[in-house]
Structure 1
Amino acid sequence: MFYYKQSLLLILLCLSGLVPRSAAFVFWTALVETHYSLSNNDTMAKYCECGIYGRSSPLEKASGLVVLPKGDPTGCGSGAIYGQISNSTDWIALVKRGNCTFSEKINAAHRQGAAGVVVYNVDGSGNGTTHMSHSDAKETVAIMIGNIQGTEIARSVKNGTVVRMFINVGSPHGPWMDTYWLYFLSLAFFIVTAASIAYFVFISANRLYSLGRHRRAEKRLKSEAKKAIGRLEVRTLKRGDELTDPDSMCAICIESYKVGEVVTVLTCDHIFHKTCIEPWLLERRTCPMCKCDILKALGVEEDVKVDVSPSSPPEVTVITVAGADTLYDVPLNAPMSPEAEQQQHHYDNRAFEEDSEAARG
């Protein structure tokens, strides 16, 4: 159990380190909608999921007129890079990558009130984009678009075309699935662990309950067995008793009976040393030879309830006993005649029975 807890703690520490590291590679696309106001008062709109939010950019919407920086298209420097712009006008700065950091470009536009910053890539990169890092500029929406698209928009603005841009949040891409997969694995791990612990607790509690019930049952049966043993016939062997014959022996200790030894006669008429049979009966409560249940035979078992209707014959338990060269059935609880009651105690030594009958005759 100790090693199990250590392993669990190690896995949790690994997961806690992997999830934030994987989350750092998640990037979100931006939906870019561009409206061009043509000379004939018509509007041409272009729409694409072609932008990528910067790593430190708020995942929010932004919209406004597209404004280019004066002179240097990269938007680097300080002061009024974008000229005089009305505070009531929502505008988006369009700058080219290069000459300074992304944070410097974004902060320069933010100081003049830009609602967002769009950085287009360097020449020769086509419409390729990268995931901008700008940890020093976190308040302004910032995205990157490809060079071809950015150059086209910048050319239109320089030619006097009014261009309005709408930026909306797209969807997560890249290794983001790894992050969600790690979250899923973490959740599945905790669920499986909780289910395993619950199952272990249930099995342990059920086993303890079964063991306790078994101990109580064994204790009760031993108490019943003591009552049954007290009702069995006990006698002391005397000189001349046929059981003292060398061929007669106790089936438990496999030793011959001797004069002066105390023997116990079971309900099935099998005879054993008293010191041998009593420990056996306390543990097993059956005859070692014929498996006869002494508790049922003597009617001292509390849980045994026999319900016999007047119209049905009584149930009779019969056991098969080997004697001499023949097999015969002995009923344990069948009604007996007066003659049978006088002869209900038989012994497993047939010669002793014949001599006893001759003596009575």
Structure 2
Amino acid sequence: MAKQTEMFVLLFVCLSGLVQSTTAMIFWTAYVGVHFYDSSTNQTETRFCECGVYGRSSPLESAAGMVVLPASDPQGCSLDPYPSNDNTTTQGFWIALVKRGNCTFSEKIRAAWARGAAAVVVYNLDGTGNSSDYMAHSDTSGTVAIMIGNLQGVEIANIVRSGVAVSMVIEVGKAHGPWMDTYWLYFLSIAFFIVTGASIIYFGFISAHRLHSLRVIHLTDRRLRNEAKKAIGRLEVRTLKRGDEETKPDSHTCAVCIESYHPGDVVTVLTCGHLFHKACIEPWLLDKRTCPMCKADILKALGVEGPGEEESSSSSVPPPDVPIVTVSGGSGRELLYEVPLNDKHLPTPTLTPQPPTEARQPHHYDNIVFEGETHPQGNVATRG
């Protein structure tokens, strides 16, 4: 169970690290709305699209204001690129539109922020179409900054240069990731809750199983103890009297309490024939089951099986047949022994003596000098 717990903890840590690394790669899009008056059609044009990308350190906030271009440097990299006599820049409700290149994103954003810009919009390099990148500007975290495509940025810049006032609105869009956009976050969240729920269910199941096992063991012990008490109650109980053999000074003492027997003592006689004080032997049998002197299983003799004995007795299988050969040995009379060929099944082979098949014939010597009379015990007496 400890290994399983470690496995779930490791899985939780991995998922947490995956969520954190995925969150670092998620970027947010921006809705960009542009409003201006078209003198050729005498109508106000409104264009709205999800075509911007928030910078990595940009706050996810909305911004609105008039679009202002740098005075001389379209990249906005000079020390003070914005006109100082523009009423829009002095009021603070304006958005800087600069082109990518020549300096870092942080420098462009700081230059516009120093003049009070509400946001900075950077459009991409020439030849990139309407693609945009995920800007990095770690030291300008308090300024709203987005990037748009080159074609859109050039179009807005040309309208502003023609003297037409252009207002812009920036709204927070959607979160996007490297694989499934926001659905990847949903997937990770669901996976996290599934793993957490499975862990809770698993630990609940293990706890319930252990409680059930403990309850079964407790009930089994309780049943065996009750059966043991009833069986002990069937043992012979005597009250010793003066003159009984057990009360004599040289008789045995109770092996449990090591006290001599006295007239009036109540003793219990076990099935093996040994007797003990009733108050001593009953708790002993409930705990030990056996006679303190001969180690005989008293409760088993009374029909109370110990825990696990029924299963072991029912599962016991008699040993398979083992080939046996008969060998001869011994001196004097010829003895025959049965020896198993395979001792793997019978670790301690027994030697069973068999009656001799034929009587031992006396040995005859070629030289008559060595022949003598047979001794009554079977020895040959040689002649002197």
What residue in structure 2 maps to residue 196 of structure 1?
A: 202
SS for the counterpart of 1:49 is: strand
SS for the counterpart of 1:282 is: coil
What residue in structure 1 maps to residue 316 of structure 2?
A: none
What residue in structure 2 maps to residue 62 of structure 1?
A: 63
What residue in structure 1 maps to residue 172 of structure 2?
A: 169
Q: Which moved more, 1:144-153 or 1:208-217?
A: 208-217
Superposition map of 1:1-361 within 5 A:
1-39=1-39, 42-86=43-87, 87-175=90-178, 176=181, 177-227=183-233, 279=300, 281-283=302-304
Unaligned segments of structure 1, at least 5 residues: 232-260, 263-274, 286-361
Unaligned segments of structure 2, at least 5 residues: 238-271, 274-295, 307-384
Contact 1:222 1:282 in 2 (8 A): no
SS for the counterpart of 2:303 is: helix
Query: Deviation at 1:230?
Result: 6.8
Query: Deviation at 1:17?
Result: 2.9
Q: Distance between the aligned counterparts of 1:52 and 1:21, measured in 2?
A: 20
Contact 1:67 1:82 in 2 (8 A): no
Query: Deviation at 1:184?
Result: 3.2
Number of residue equivalences: 244
CA RMSD of aligned residues (A): 2.7
Contact 1:95 1:119 in 2 (8 A): yes
Question: Identity of paired residues, percent?
Answer: 43
Q: Distance between the aligned counterparts of 2:148 and 2:60, measured in 1?
A: 16
> Partner letter of residue 47 of structure 2?
K
SS for the counterpart of 1:72 is: coil
Query: Deviation at 1:73?
Result: 0.8
Query: Deviation at 1:47?
Result: 0.9
> Partner letter of residue 51 of structure 1?
G
SS for the counterpart of 1:135 is: coil
Normalised by the length of structure 1, the TM-score is 0.61
Deviations 1:67-91 (A, max 9, x none): 1011111111212534334433511
Contact 1:56 1:133 in 2 (8 A): yes
Q: Distance between the aligned counterparts of 1:32 and 1:278, measured in 2?
A: 91
Q: Distance between the aligned counterparts of 1:193 and 1:119, measured in 2?
A: 48
Query: Deviation at 1:3?
Result: 2.8
Q: Distance between the aligned counterparts of 1:107 and 1:168, measured in 2?
A: 21
SS for the counterpart of 1:283 is: coil
Q: Compared with structure 1, are the counterparts of its residues 48 and 276 closer, same or farther at alpha carbon in structure 2 (3 Å cutoff)?
A: closer
Deviations 1:276-323 (A, max 9, x none): 9972543269xxxxxxxxxxxxxxxxxxxxxxxxxxxxxxxxxxxxxx
Deviations 1:143-166 (A, max 9, x none): 111111111100000001111011
Q: Compared with structure 1, are the counterparts of its residues 278 and 194 closer, same or farther at alpha carbon in structure 2 (3 Å cutoff)?
A: closer
Structure of greater relative contact order (alpha carbons < 8 Å, 6+ residues apart): 1
Q: Which moved more, 1:40-49 or 1:26-35?
A: 40-49
Query: Deviation at 1:220?
Result: 1.2
What residue in structure 2 maps to residue 241 of structure 1?
A: none
Q: Distance between the aligned counterparts of 1:221 and 1:282, measured in 2?
A: 9
Q: Compared with structure 1, are the counterparts of its residues 25 and 276 closer, same or farther at alpha carbon in structure 2 (3 Å cutoff)?
A: closer
Structure with the greater alpha carbon radius of gyration: 2
Q: Which moved more, 1:9-18 or 1:111-120?
A: 9-18
Q: Which moved more, 1:212-221 or 1:155-164?
A: 212-221
Q: Distance between the aligned counterparts of 2:95 and 2:236, measured in 1?
A: 105
SS for the counterpart of 1:83 is: coil
Contact 1:80 1:112 in 2 (8 A): no
Q: Compared with structure 1, are the counterparts of its residues 143 and 276 closer, same or farther at alpha carbon in structure 2 (3 Å cutoff)?
A: closer
Normalised by the length of structure 2, the TM-score is 0.58
Deviations 1:117-160 (A, max 9, x none): 11111111111111111112111111111111111100000001
SS for the counterpart of 2:25 is: coil
